[in-house]
Amino acid sequence: DEFISSPPRKTVRFGGTLTEILLKYEKGDTTDFELLKHQLSDPDIKDAQLINWLHEFRASVAYLTKELEQLVNILLKLPWLRRSREVVEEYLGFLGNLVSAQTVHLRPCLRMIVSKFVPPRITIREDDVDISDSDDDDENVSQNFNTCHRALQTVARYVPSTPQFLMPILVEFFPFINKSERTLECYVHNLLRVTVYLPTLRLQILELIIEKLLKLDVSTPQQDIEDAEETANNCASEEKSAEEGLFDMEEDEDRKGNQVVSASIERMAHPLAERLDILMTILFSYIKDVCHVDGKLDISSTKDLYRDLVSVFDKLILPTHASCHVQYFMFYICSFKLGLAEAFLDHLWKKLQDPNNPSVIRQTAGSYIGSFLARAKFIPIVTVKACLDLLVNWLHKYIDNQDTGANAYCDVALHGPFYSTCQAVFYTLIFRHKQLLDGNLRKGLSYLQSLNFERIVMCQLNPLKICIPSVVNLFAAITRKYQLVFCYTIIERNNRQFIPVVRSGTGGDLVQTCTNPLDSFFPFDPYILKRSKKTIDPMYQFWEELSAEDLENLKKPIKKGASEDEDDDFLKGETPQNDGVIEIAPNSYESNTRSPVSSIGSPADCYVPYPL
């Protein structure tokens, strides 16, 4: 404010004062005006000269009308950020005077500020070809960004309508996803900083960022990321074995080398995955910072941010098929307080049961419910039971309405939400059955029996035929173990009806029917981005390995009244092949219950043998 209100220093300049030069220009005398432009464009202009010019321009903003747009553009291109503090303060004062007196220049001013939200570029010439990259070595980048935000706040203070003009510019200047990680990181970080002092833009900025993250996410299928990591690990192992024993490095160098190796271990081998990882880390940090004040959860701020994120989730995430990582921003914020997780489940439940929603949205909502209940450690078993009660009761009502009508037959197009809900229930039981039975086995079994899975499995709609085979297999093993329902008769009948289809358009090739007719996926499958997964892992339920003893126990149906010592763990995708029980190869469950790109989200071989 001091600089803005302080009077400009009087200066003597060749050709007269700025006011005189501008008045001459209006009368058609352009000689001094051209000299002025030349002096301002001089890359070697000194700080003292710049300060003097800016002083005069601040006092003459009334003359800087639309007709002098060319001169204003030269002023906006001045290299003011890397100058002394005096130049920076004088320039901020000039910007404030300019936009308050001549709002016609508001957009160019905003464009100039936003263009500096990324590190400055340096140009390297090789064989007469310009190769540009971010100037990451500039120690003042962080300070420059702070100054840019001061400039934007100054403009917003003088022009209240700044947010509506700013948002399209933020969209326009968002870097392409193939730009350097540093460029993307800085731009997203600065966008999120804008939401702190221009809160009316927060929803739109979050939408913009998450939309870009989503494009990155769907461009990098999980299989591609895993393949890139495997290739990189193999190359690293070969290099290590080749160099082993060749150098006897000193202790200091060794320690330094270890730090470099540690940093490289955190890098993702896939370039787009690396960008996504960095940006997801920033988003998680932002969510945490907004929701916590002095290390304590601020309920009001958290609720406001939750509402914005749910809005973005509905608009962008829910209609997007098979994104792998971006949706975890909802997983993360829900971990802060049980009430948020329950609100999210309730939100999904309303989407699922509302017949006015498109079928695909209802099915996706079902997938989210099942995956969230299964994978979120912070959801207590009492909430899981409440959700299972809701879902199963809805299934029974659906069967009541459909099982004897004209549409009482197996058809995904007609009953998609029903099958998606069945799969959510089966998937939740696979992950949570131990907790449901923990403490009091008899009481737990009584609860599971009350859900009446037999009626759901035996109904005319035949959900076991539609759900992903790996889910069906594990559900069948668990329900057989606890004598809840015997699924194998139906599975075997469905397999007999599984007739290969001949595709005439390709010379009579034999192709199998899609084993994932729902085209379903589990949105909270394992998170594999190295940096940001550190935020998710502590609250995430992983697929657990089965011991040999667990595998043996799985073969034996539990006897009524048995003690809870016979504890099982079905959280691996493997059950014994002997005695006719189904088998899923180790780790195939995780990879085959995802559908990152294609419609095939299940094991390639859908034939399931049944117990004799």
**Is the pTM here over 0.75, yes or no?**
yes
Which of these, 529, 521, 526, lies nearest to 597 by C-alpha position?
521
Give the per-residue pLDDT at 309. 97
Task: State how beta strands 121-126 and 501-503 pair.
Answer: unpaired
**Assigned domain for 435 exists:** yes
* Other beta carbons less than 10 A from residue 259's beta carbon: 9
**What length does the chain have?**
612
559-594 confidence digits (pLDDT tens): 544 433 333 333 334 333 333 333 333 333 333 333
Q: What is the pLDDT of residues 31-53, one digit of tens each?
A: 888 888 888 888 888 889 899 99
Query: Given 456, 489, 523, which residue is the final one in a domain?
Result: 523
Query: pLDDT tens for residues 370-399?
Result: 999 999 999 999 999 999 999 999 999 999
Residue 553 CB partners (closer than 8 Å, separation 6+): 566, 568
Whether residue 37 lies inside any domain: the answer is yes
Q: To the nearest whole percent, how much of the chain has pLDDT over 90?
A: 52
Structural domain includes residue 134: no
Which one of 463, 493, 523 terminates a domain?
523
- Total structural domains within the chain: 2
- Rounded Cα–Cα distance for residues 321 and 314 (Å): 13
Q: Which tokens belong to 179? A: 């730009």
In a domain, 203, yes or no: no
Contact 55, 8 (CB under 8 A): yes
Give the per-residue pLDDT at 91: 94
Is the model's pLDDT at 247 over the cut of 80?
no
Please tell me the predicted confidence (pLDDT) of residue 576.
32
pLDDT of residue 240: 64
Answer with the residue of higher pLDDT: 115 or 239.
Answer: 115
Residues 101, 61 contacting (CB under 8 angstroms): yes
Segment (H or E) for 65: none
Buried b (16+ CB within 10 A) or exposed e, 389-406: ebbbebbbebbeebbeee
Radius of gyration of the chain (CA): 32
Q: What is the pLDDT of residues 471-512, one digit of tens each?
A: 999 999 999 999 999 998 888 888 887 655 444 444 444 444
Q: Which residue would you say has higher pLDDT here, 344 or 83? A: 344
Average pLDDT for 215-233: 91
Q: Are 99 and 155 in contact (CB under 8 A)?
A: yes
Residue 342 burial class via C-beta count within 10 angstroms: exposed 0-12, middle 13-18, buried 19 and up: middle
| 127-143 pLDDT, tens digit each | 666 555 545 556 778 89
Burial zone of 461 (CB within 10 Å; 0-12 exposed, 13-18 middle, 19+ buried): buried
User: Domain for residue 386, yes or no?
Assistant: yes
Q: Find residue 77's DSSP bridge partners.
A: none
Distance CA 79, CA 347 (A): 50
Those residues with Cβ within 8 angstroms of residue 595's Cβ, 6 or more apart along the chain or in another chain:
321, 322, 516, 519, 520, 521, 601
Is-contact 477 484, C-beta < 8 A?
A: no
Residues 6+ apart with CB under 8 A from 73: 108
Mean residue pLDDT across the chain: 81
Q: Which of 159, 186, 217 is the last residue of a domain?
A: 159
Q: Is residue 72 part of a domain?
A: yes
Domain-embedded: residue 492: yes
| Helix, strand, or coil (residue 400) | helix
123: pLDDT confidence band, cut at 50, 70 and 90?
low
Residue (of 32, 111, 49, 39) closest to 76 by Cα position = 111
Q: Determine which helix (DSSP H) or strand (DSSP E) holds 105, and give its type and residue range.
A: none
For residue 67, what is the DSSP state?
G
Alpha-carbon separation of residue 208 from 171, 181, 317 (angstroms) = 7, 18, 12
Residue 109, domain member (yes or no): yes
Higher pLDDT, 237 or 288: 288
Cα–Cα distance for residue pair 393/364, rounded to 1 Å: 19
Query: Which 3 state secondary structure label does DSSP give 597?
Result: coil
Token readout for 394 is 């809805």
Output the pLDDT for position 125: 59
C-alpha 134/C-alpha 467 separation (Å) is 49
339-354 mean pLDDT: 96
Work out the number of other CB atoms within 10 angstroms of the CB of residue 29.
11
Annotate 212-239 with three-state secondary structure: HHHHHHHHCCHHHHHHHHHHHHHHHHHH
Domain range enclosing 71: 7-121+140-159
Q: How many CB atoms lie within 10 A of CB 117?
A: 24
Residues 162, 153 contacting (CB under 8 angstroms):
no
Render pLDDT for 190-215 as a digit per residue (tens, 0 to 9): 999 999 999 999 999 999 999 999 99
Q: How far is CA 87 from the centre of its chain?
A: 40
